Structure 1
Amino acid sequence: MQRRCFTQIGLVTLAVPSLAFAQALEKPKLTIAVGGKNLLYYLPLTIAESLGYFKDEGLDVTIADFAGGSRALQAVVGGSADVVSGAFEHTLNMQAKGQKLRAFVLQGRAPQIVMGINPKTMPGYKSVADLKGKKIGVTAPGSSTNVMANFVLAKAGLKPADVSIIGIGAGNGAVAAMRSGQIDAISNLDPVITLLQRSGDLKIISDTRVVAEADRVFGGPMPAGCLYAPQAFIDKNPATVQALANALVRADRWIQAAGPADIIKAVPEGYLLGDRAVYIDAFLASKGALSPDGLIPEAGAATAVNALKSVDDALKDVKFDLAAVYTNDFAKKANAKFAKAR
């Protein structure tokens, strides 16, 4: 049924036997680490898996899900995973620590992270400055949701030490933490955000699901979810990396042509948080922030550096090699492949 859904919305299914690819792949069996796979932030990864795009490329992919992006990063650094599906800025943070990681296909062209306050614990909220001394829930400490929180706080003159950062995950646990009053504010993503907003348990103060708003907040295009890997892995397995990029670009393109009903059919039931209508609303709110082609914007790395430096004094004097943290070579080849197939 998912295959029929794919063709109904106008994209061409490339029915190339996976074995034709497998012979050329250096590492057909690999593990991708992700922090919060149920999030719409990683919807292209989910689509590539559920619609069989990895298999079509001759890949046998295991997706290891963690509580947040920082945990997924640790899995690759520690050697238990090969590739990360995570936030672009982690490549920069790791370069500052002397580790070479490179993004090679984009999932999100804006962070899609929303920060909001708990109207129950902060009924008199007036400005971000009111968050001083409060508890802020993020997916995991050190993850992109934590960076977003720090960024919003910094613009109000607050430092990370002025608040308590608490890891609450990216699913029902995050919803429960907000509704029970365990946290005073949250930095998280859809479908968690839409669920809380619809039930009146969230007042939004910054929303980067809107590309224009994200550009305004960060001062330029801020690349978000992507696939990235150690440079050594990319150098050793270029055909495998190309196959991964093909699958993700195909998923990116499918999503842009898909409607809510197509998404609901393709996404696992457990990702819907018990409410299909909420998930559909979340998809529609986030769709514009998802990448249409997997290409990382040329100014994106510079924007990410500025954002990181604004929240981390230790990075202020670091000289980054921006060209070393991303490449569009694989995504360009993938787009050319699918353009010819139309």
Structure 2
Amino acid sequence: MENFTLNRRKLGTLATAAAATLAVPALRAQPNLEKPKLAIAVGGKAAFYYLPLTIAEQLGYFKAEGLDVEISDFAGGAKALQAVVGGSADVCSGAFEHTIALQSKGQYYTAFVLQGRAPQIAIGVSTKNMPNYKTLADLKGKKIGVSAPGSSTNMVANLVLSRAGIKPTDVSYIGVGTAGAALTAMRTGQIDAMSNTDPVMTMLEQKNEVRIISDTRTLKGTLDVFGGPMPAGCLYASAEFIQKNPNTCQALANAIVHGLKWLQTAGPGDIIKTVPEAYLLGDRALYLASFNKVREAISPDGIVPDEGPRTALRALSSFDPSIKADRIDLRKIYTNSFALKAKERFKA
């Protein structure tokens, strides 16, 4: 009888331990992380373009993967890219097309988890400075605000203007960031037009301060502008970093895909409670209106669509003579291996 009691107690203890393990999945055995403490550079973290990164950070998904992540925010993607290339950051949360631009210069960087399946960038002309705007040709010689010169907002502007025969040198690009400074630049007349992300563009649009002339905040708008699916925000790193730190990259992909999964079902109240107050730019209602506009542009699973890399290459080579399409190896600019594993893990 004593043995039976002891065995029953032992079984109870084991059952309790098993239940605890199931209740806290983050505590299950993690692969050895080669670099648990690392730095991520991002250009314009408050933009919806990088919302999955913020969600993963705010909800503790990086920590759940055993990562200690330091995120440095820059004015635009081009600045964040410089931080990674210069070695002050390990990974960039940036635009997918940067991997193509880098390869054209002999630098091999690979996107390993997607945050956005559409660029979420809109171009608007100032209703104050250009009330009589009619066609793209009217922008020749004008000042155009972008998050930072060389960023994805700059790239989209170059692409759209090139179709009207306007070269990058025919306009003046001015870096205005992606938040309050961008709003101020437009409202004070410092710029004549702007290529930027939400929530800034929706806020200006709803107050009739800009007239939208090109829009990639929806899948349809992206198809109209690019002629195919256009991968946007992603995490990318040097091919060498990924090769040396596969478990770390998997953990990063897990955290982002976990965030993407959360965003699929999150309501407006969930978003407001999760993002930092400063991201709302003083107007919760307009922030949520912006989110609803770009929601479908957020990747559902972190996977780069098959046709996406070709679309990106076609877009860049159409206006940038330094990018020779026949010299770019698309197989080296992205991998879906990490995102596919993360999707499998969080499919339930």
Counterpart pick for 1:212 among 216, 220, 239 = 220
Q: Which residue pairs with 1:33 in the alignment?
A: 41
Q: In structure 2, what is the equivalent of residue 49 of structure 1?
A: 57
The 8 Å contact of residues 15 and 56 in structure 1, kept in 2 or not, is answered as no
Q: 2: CA distance between counterparts of 1:15 and 1:270?
A: 32
- Give 3-state SS (helix, strand or coil) of 1:108's partner: coil
Aligned counterpart, 1:15: 24
Equivalent residue, structure 2, for 1:75: 83
Structure 2 unmatched runs, 5+: 1-21
Partner of 2:8: none
- 8 Å contact kept, 2:313–2:325: no
How much does 1:14 deviate? 7.7
| 1:294 maps to 2:287 | no
Q: How does 1:186-265 map to 2 (within 5 A)?
A: 186-265=194-273
How far has the Cα of 1:15 moved from its partner? 2.8
The gaps in structure 1 that reach 5 residues or longer are: 1-12
Per-residue CA deviations over 1:285-338 (Å, capped at 9, x if unaligned) read: 010100000000111111000100111112246511001000000000001111
Residue 177 of structure 2 is aligned with which of 169, 178, 202?
169
List per-residue Cα deviations over 1:56-105 (Å, max 9, x = no partner): 00000000000000000000100000000000000000000001100000
**Could you say which residue in structure 2 is the equivalent of 1:303?**
311
Is the contact between residue 215 and residue 221 of structure 1 (CA under 8 Å) also seen in structure 2? yes
**Offset at residue 232 of structure 1 (A):** 0.4
The TM-score, its normalising length taken from structure 1, stands at 0.94
Deviation readout 1:245-286 (Å, 9 max, x if unpaired): 000011111111111111111101011001111110010001
Q: Deviations over 1:192-249 (max 9, x none)?
A: 1111112211100011001111012111110000000001000000000000000001
Structure-2 separation of matches of 1:18 and 1:88: 32
Amino acid at match of 1:178: M
Task: Letter of the 1:31 partner, please give it.
Answer: A
TM-score, structure 2 as length reference: 0.92
2:27, 2:135 → 1: CA distance?
55
Indicate the SS of the match to 1:332: helix
Ranges of 4+ aligned residues in structure 1 off by more than 3 Å: 17-20
Aligned to 2:327, what secondary structure does the other structure show? coil
Partner of 2:282: 274
**Secondary structure of the structure 2 residue equivalent to 1:145:** helix
CA contact (8 A) 1:106 1:291 kept: yes
CA 1:18/1:230 → structure 2, altered by over 3 Å: closer, same or farther?
farther
Give 2:78's aligned amino acid.
S
SS of equivalent residue, structure 1 residue 286: helix
Q: Percent identity among equivalent residues?
A: 62
Residue aligning to 1:5: none
Could you say if the C-alpha distance between residues 258 and 14 of structure 1 is closer, same or farther in structure 2, counting changes exceeding 3 Å? farther
Q: Is contact 1:96–1:318 with CA below 8 Å preserved after alignment?
A: no
Q: How many residues align?
A: 327
> 2:14: which partner in 1?
none
SS in 2 for 1:315: coil
- CA distance in 2 between partners of 1:192 and 1:212 (Å): 20
- Matched to 2:210, the amino acid is L
Question: Is the Cα–Cα contact under 8 Å of residues 20 and 58 in structure 1 kept in the other structure?
Answer: no
**Structure-1 residue corresponding to 2:16:** none
Which of residues 112, 119, 132 in structure 2 aligns to 1:111?
119
C-alpha distance in 1 between matches for 2:221 and 2:203: 21
Question: Whole-Å Cα distance in 2 between the matches of residues 328 and 97 of structure 1?
Answer: 23
C-alpha separation in 2, matches of 1:291 and 1:254: 12
SS in 2 for 1:84: strand
Which whole-Å CA distance do the structure 2 matches of 1:26 and 1:128 have between them? 50
